Chains A and B, each alone.
Chain A
C-alpha cells in the first residue's frame, strides 16, 4: 500500500515535469500557434467545467448560472485592473470612468472570485430552496438579469455600459493560465475529498437521508454554490485575460450550455473527466475540426456541404450521440489514477498474450 502511494507520487511528479517542459517549449517557440491558444483556453475551461461539476455533479444542484458568475468575474477583474492612463481611452463616453485607482493583477483575480461570491449569495439565498429544474431556470434567469444590469447605461461610469472593456493586463506566458487553473482545481479536489465534499455527495444521493444524517441542507448547498461561484469568477477573470477584452453580450446562456456539455462529455461527477473533456472540446472546436468549415477537395471531387458552420453541426451531432448513447461520458464518476492506467495496461498485455497463445 505504502509502495503504491510512493510510486503514484513519483509518477505524478514525472508527469508534472514533462508537462512543464512541454509548456515552456511551446511558450518559447510557438507562442502564437493554435496549440498555445488551445492550451490556454482549455486550461481556463477546465476550471470553469470543474467548478460547474462541483455543483451539478457532486452536489446534485442543477445550476445554469455559470455564465452570469463568469461575467461578474470578468467585469470585476477588467474594471479594477485597467491602468489609469488607459481609462480615458476605454471609458471614452464616460469621462474616464468613476474608479480612480488600479489594483495589481493578483488582487484583481481574487476580487473577481469574491464579487462573484457576493452575487452568488444574493442569488442562492432565495433560489437554493427550489427543486432541480426550477433552480436551473432561476439561475439561468439570474445570468440574464446580470447581463442586463451590466449593460445599463446608468452604470456606464463603472461598467462602460454595453461598450467593450479592454487594455487590462493579460497573460504574458501560456504557463500562467495553466498554473492558476491547476492550483484552483487542486483546491477543489481537496474540498471534494474533505468532510465538506462528503456532505455534498450525500446531498446528491438523497437529500432527505442527508438531512437525517445531520447535514444542514441550506448551509451545505450554499457552501457548494459559493465555492462554485468563486471559481467561476476566477475563471471568468482568466477568460477576460485570455481574450484581452470583455463585453457583456458574449456571456450568453449558450456559454453556460457549452460548459455543461463539457461536463457531460467528461463525466458528471469526475474532476479529471471535466479536465479531459475541456481539452478535447476546445481542441476539437477550435482546431481539429476546423477543416470542416472550409470546402475540401478529395480526389478532385469537391465536397459541397463543407462550408462555414458545418463544424458546429458535426460537433453538436457528436454531443447528442454522447448524451444519448454514452451517458457516462469519458470518465463516468471515476477519477484518473495511476493504478487504473496500470491495470488497463496489464489487462491489455494479458489479452495480447492470450491471443498469441491461442
Chain B
C-alpha cells in the first residue's frame, strides 16, 4: 500500500496535466463552436510554441522570450486560419477538416526538418523551476502556478465572452453564422479573435507543459491535442467550463493510470474509451447545447 501523500502527489500531478489540457481544449472548443471544425493543427501549434521558446531563449533571457513566444504563436494560429481555413469557408466540412489535417502534417514535417527530428531540451525558466516543501512533500512552483493561472485565464475568458461586445458577437456567430452576419457582425473578425484566443492559450499551455516535461519534439503535439479535444467533447463542445472540467477529469485519471505499471500502456487509450462512452450516452457532452437536426 502507498501512503496518502503518494496519492496526493498523483492527484496534484493529474491536476497540473489537466490544467494544460484545459488550456489547449479551450482552443478546440471555441473553434469548433464557431466554425464546426476540428482544428487538427491545434496540437501542432502548441508544439511549435515549444520550439519558438527553445530557439528564442538561445539568444535572450526566458523572461523576454515569453511574450515574444506568445506573440509568435498567436501570429501562427491566425495565419493558419487566413491561409488554410478562410478560403474554404463555403466548401464542404470534410474539405476544411482535410485542410486542417494537411496543416498539421505540414507543421510536423517543418518541425522535423528544422530540428533534424531530434528532441530539444526546453530552456529552464528559473521562477517556474523552484521547489518548496510542505510537510514531507516537495512541491514544484509550477505545480501550483499551473492550476492557479489556468483558473484565472478561464475566469477571465468566460467573463470576456459574457460581458464584452466581442464576446457577444462570438456567441452570436456560434449560434447562427448567417444570421449573425445579417445583424452586422463581422464574422471573419470574430473568427480571427477566436484563433487569437485559442493560440494564446495554447502558447501559455506550452510554456507550462514543456517546463514540466523538459523537452520538445516534433510529434509531441498530436497526443495532447487529441486528448484536449476529447476533453472538449466530454464537456459539451462549445462550452468552456465543460471543456475545463473534462480536461481535469482526463488529467487526473491519466495520472493514476500511469502510476500502475500493468495498465500504464492504456493511459492514452483510456481517453478514447471515455470519448466513445460519452458520445454513446450523452452525444452533446455534459454541458453541451442541444441542437436539432434540420432538413
A binds B: yes
Residues of A within 8 A of B (CB): 56, 62, 126-127, 130, 132-134, 136-138, 140-142, 144-145, 147-149, 151-154, 208, 253-254, 257, 260-261, 264, 268, 307-310, 312-313, 315-317, 319-320, 323-324, 327
Give the residue of A133, A208, A253, A268 whose beta carbon is less than 8 angstroms from that of B38. A133
Write 30 A-B pairs (CB below 8 A) sorted by A numbering: A62-B97, A132-B94, A133-B36, A133-B93, A134-B283, A137-B226, A140-B272, A141-B271, A141-B272, A142-B272, A144-B226, A144-B269, A148-B269, A149-B269, A153-B265, A154-B262, A253-B226, A261-B98, A261-B105, A308-B113, A309-B109, A309-B113, A310-B113, A312-B109, A316-B102, A323-B95, A324-B83, A324-B84, A327-B91, A327-B95
- Residues in chain A near residue B87, CB distance under 8 A: 324
Taken together as a complex, chains A and B put the C-alpha atoms of A133 and B99 apart, in Å, by 14
B279, A136: Cβ atoms under 8 Å?
no
B112 at the A interface (CB under 8 A): yes
**Size bracket, chain B contacts:** 35 or more
Residues of A within 8 A of B283 (CB): 130, 134
Instruction: Confirm or deny: B177 has a beta carbon within 8 angstroms of a beta carbon on chain A.
Output: no
Q: A127 to B280, alpha carbons, bound, how many Å? A: 8
Residue of B nearest to A253 (CB): B222
Listed residue (B105, B112, B116) with the most chain A CB atoms within 10 angstroms of its CB: B105
Q: Give, as a whole number of angstroms, the nearest-CB distance from A200 to chain B.
A: 16
Among B37, B105, B116, which residue has its beta carbon within 8 angstroms of that of A319?
B105
A316 to B113, CA, bound (A): 12
Main secondary structure of the interface of A (DSSP, over half): helix
Complex interface: chain B residues within 8 A of A56 (CB): 94
Q: Does B98 contact A141, Cβ atoms closer than 8 Å?
A: no
- Ranked 10 nearest A-B pairs via Cβ: A141-B272, A309-B113, A148-B269, A316-B106, A312-B109, A145-B269, A316-B109, A323-B102, A320-B102, A313-B113
Q: Which residue of A lies closest to B281 (CB)?
A: A126
Task: Name B106's contact: one of A253, A264, A268, A320 (CB within 8 Å).
Answer: A320
Additional A-B contacts beyond A133-B97, A142-B276, A316-B105 (8; CB < 8 A):
A62-B94, A148-B268, A154-B262, A257-B104, A313-B109, A315-B109, A320-B103, A327-B91
Q: Which residues of B are found within 8 Å of A147, using beta-carbon distances? A: 269
B98 touches A264 (CB 8 A): yes
Q: Chain A nearest CB: distance from B247 CB in Å?
A: 16
Chain B binding surface SS class: helix
Interchain nearest-CB distance for B279 vs A (Å)? 6
Interface membership of chain B positions 243-281, coded 1 if the CB is closer than 8 angstroms to chain A and 0 otherwise: 000000000000000000010011011011101100110
Q: For residue B275, which residue of chain A has the nearest CB?
A: A141
* CA of A208 to CA of B226, assembled, Å: 31
Contact check, A208 vs B295: say whether CB atoms are below 8 A apart: yes
Q: Does B88 contact A (CB under 8 A)?
A: yes
Given contacts A62-B94, A253-B222, contact A312 B113 (CB under 8 A): yes
CA A254 to CA B273, docked complex, whole Å = 20
Residue B233 CB within 8 A of the other chain: yes
Check A257/B95 contact, CB under 8 A, given A148-B265, A308-B117: no
Is there a chain A Cβ closer than 8 Å to B24's Cβ? no
Q: Are B280 and A126 neighbours in the complex by a CB distance under 8 Å?
A: yes
Q: Judge if B23 is at the interface, Cβ distance under 8 Å.
A: no
Alpha-carbon gap, A310 to B113, bound state (A): 6
How far apart sit A268 and B269, CA to CA, in the bound complex (Å)?
30
For residue B12, CB closer than 8 A to chain A, the reply is no
Q: CB < 8 Å: which of B88, B101, B265, B272 contacts A261? A: B101
Could you tell me if B97 and A127 are in contact, using CB atoms closer than 8 angstroms? no
Evaluate contact between B268 and A324: CB separation under 8 angstroms. Answer: no
- Bound complex: CA A342 to CA B102 (Å): 35
Q: How far is the CA of A141 from the CA of B116 in the complex (A)?
A: 29
A308 to B276, CA, bound (A): 39
Q: Which residue of B lies closest to A263 (CB)?
A: B98
A317 to B295: give the CA distance in the assembly, Å. Answer: 38
Given the known inter-chain contacts A312-B109, A317-B106, A320-B84, please indicate yes or no for A141 contacting B93, CB distance below 8 A: no
State how many angstroms separate the Cβ of B217 from the closest Cβ of chain A.
13
Cα A308 to Cα B118 with chains together (Å): 12
The distance in angstroms between the C-alpha atoms of A254 and B37, with both chains bound, is 19
Given A316-B105, A323-B102: A308 and B95 interface contact (C-beta under 8 Å)? no
Q: Given the complex, which residues of A lie within 8 Å of B276, measured CB to CB?
A: 126-127, 138, 141-142
| B229 proximal to A (CB < 8 A) | yes
Which chain A residue shows the least CB distance to B280? A126
* B36, A134: Cβ atoms closer than 8 Å: no
Residues of B within 8 A of A319 (CB): 102, 105-106
Task: Flag B102-138 by CB within 8 Å of A: 1 or 0 each.
Answer: 1111101110110011000000000000000000000
* A324 with B99: CB separation less than 8 A: yes
Picked from A137, A309, A323, the residue with its CB within 8 Å of the CB of B117 is A309
Query: In the complex, what's the smallest C-beta–C-beta distance from A187 to chain B, in angstroms?
Result: 26
Closest to A312 in B: B109
B230 / chain A contacts, CB cutoff of 8 Å = 137, 141
B88: chain A residues within 8 A (beta carbon): 324
Q: How far does the alpha carbon of A127 sit from the alpha carbon of B84 in the complex, in Å?
A: 29
Q: Which of A137, A148, A268 contacts B266 (CB 8 A)?
A: A148
Q: How far is the CA of A130 from the CA of B219 in the complex (A)?
A: 28
Would you give the shortest CB distance from B246 to chain A, in whole angstroms? Answer: 14
| CB proximity to A under 8 Å, residues B60-92 | 83-84, 87-88, 91
Residues of B within 8 A of A153 (CB): 262, 265
Interfacial chain A residues near B95, Cβ < 8 Å: 323, 327
Residues of chain B within 8 A (CB-CB) of A310 are: 113
Tell me the complex Cα distance, A134–B295, Å: 19
| B116, A309: Cβ atoms closer than 8 Å | yes
